[in-house]
Amino acid sequence: MRVGLFVTCLVDLMRPSIGFATVRLLEAGGAEVYVPPMQTCCGQPGYNSGDRAGARTLAAKVVAEFEGCDYLVSPSGSCSGMIKTHYADLFRDDPELLERAGALAAKTHELTDFLEDVLKLDTLPGSLAATVTYHDSCAGLREMGVKRQPRALLSRVRGLKLVEMTECETCCGFGGTFAVKFGEISTRLADNKCQHIAASGADAVVLGDLGCMLNIEGRLRRRGDMKTRVLHVAEVLAGEQS
């Protein structure tokens, strides 16, 4: 089984360790991981900001890079959601690319969904002696149907205790360029999220998207909370690099 890893531009730039954790998890599940070396961005920033032409160019690039794989897997609900649920709209006037994008969408998965429901990864390498709470990212939850999968996986991590926070399904306020264009509103939403995390009593918030991660961590630290950890689900499941 050849799995194409779409690492995402944010993991590539900000947190390469999450990319390697993802590789370890996929390999632990028996997948042959292929990382297209020239991959960059799925096109979502342009798509969500009105630059359709720019988004199309990048989407066509992703389709060409990954269509030869059995699966496309990404450690992001947002980017996998873009590929799975929005590429069809981008190529609505181009029957050939529409068909190819449709074929790719059908085999595109968010990481935890793939680990739990396709690879059925039972034994997880990671261990974490901590109480954590899970933040559902918007696209993961509402575009990719990711809700049960990360919780099921986390429940099998040694030492980990999962508690739910209130409004775990409410947006953290990131929203891509929204976070900069409407910084004050975005910060308010992030602040609400931080309050819910604090109220849950968790030592760490675990999530599946870099956008939420930077936003929540950025707000926690500015609030003066240097203690609550913000972890990507891949890091928790894969454990520390040995």
Partner 1 sequence: MQIASMHFKERAHANMANAELQRNLQKIKGKFVAKRRASLAELDDFEATRETGRAIRQRALDDLDVWLEIFERNATARGATVLWAETPAEINAHVLDIARRHGARKIIKSKSMVSEESELDRAIEAAGLTVIETDLGEYILQINDYEPPSHIIGPALHKSKEEVADLFAKAHATPRKTEINELCLEARGVLRQHYLTSEMGISGGNFFVAETGSVVVVTNEGNATLTTTLPRVHVAISGIEKIVPTLEDVATLMRLLPRSATGQSISNYVDILTGVKGEGEFHGAEHMYFILVDAGRSAVLGGELREALRCIRCGACMNHCPVYQNIGGHSYGWVYPGPIGSILTPSYIGIENALDLPQAATLCNQCGVVCPVKIPLPDLLRKLREQEFELRLRPWTERFGLRAWSWLAARPGLYAMATRIGARVLSWMGGNEKLLHKLPLAGGWTDGRDMPAPEGRTFRSLYAGKVPK
Q: Tell me the closest approach of the beta carbon of residue 169 to partner 1, in angstroms.
A: 8
Q: Tell me the closest approach of the beta carbon of residue 74 to partner 1, in angstroms.
A: 12
Q: Give the nearer residue to partner 1 in terms of CB position, either 156 or 167.
A: 167
- Given the structure tokens 């020239």, which residue do they identify? 38
Q: Tell me the closest approach of the beta carbon of residue 217 to partner 1, in angstroms.
A: 5
Q: Give the nearer residue to partner 1 in terms of CB position, either 161 or 214.
A: 214
SS3 224: coil
Q: Give the nearer residue to partner 1 in terms of CB position, either 108 or 186.
A: 186
Yes or no: say if 85 and 143 are a contact pair by the CB < 8 Å rule. yes
Q: Give the nearer residue to partner 1 in terms of CB position, either 38 or 96.
A: 38
Q: Tell me the closest approach of the beta carbon of residue 27 to partner 1, in angstroms.
A: 13
How many alpha carbons lie under 13 Å from residue 162 in its C-beta half-sphere? Answer: 18
DSSP string of 110-158? Answer: EHHHIIIIIS---S-S-EEEEEEEEEPPHHHHHTT--SHHHHHHHHTSE
Neighbours of 205 (CB within 10 A): 27
Residues that bind partner 1 (CB under 8 A): 7, 9, 11-17, 19-20, 23, 35, 37-41, 43, 45-55, 57-58, 61, 89, 138-139, 142-143, 169-171, 173-192, 213-215, 217-219, 221-222
Q: Give the nearer residue to partner 1 in terms of CB position, either 41 or 157.
A: 41
Ranges of beta strands (E only) in the chain are 2-5, 32-34, 71-74, 108-110, 127-135, 158-162, 204-207, 229-232
Q: Tell me the closest approach of the beta carbon of residue 163 to partner 1, in angstroms.
A: 20
Q: Give the nearer residue to partner 1 in terms of CB position, either 118 or 178.
A: 178
Q: Tell me the closest approach of the beta carbon of residue 68 to partner 1, in angstroms.
A: 17
Yes or no: say if 137 and 176 are a contact pair by the CB < 8 Å rule. no
- The CA-based angle 147-152-157, given to 5 degrees, is 130
Yes or no: say if 33 and 5 are a contact pair by the CB < 8 Å rule. yes
Q: Tell me the closest approach of the beta carbon of residue 141 to partner 1, in angstroms.
A: 9
Please name the amino acid found at residue 47. Y
SS3 17: helix
Q: Give the nearer residue to partner 1 in terms of CB position, either 129 or 199.
A: 199
> How many residues comprise the chain?
242
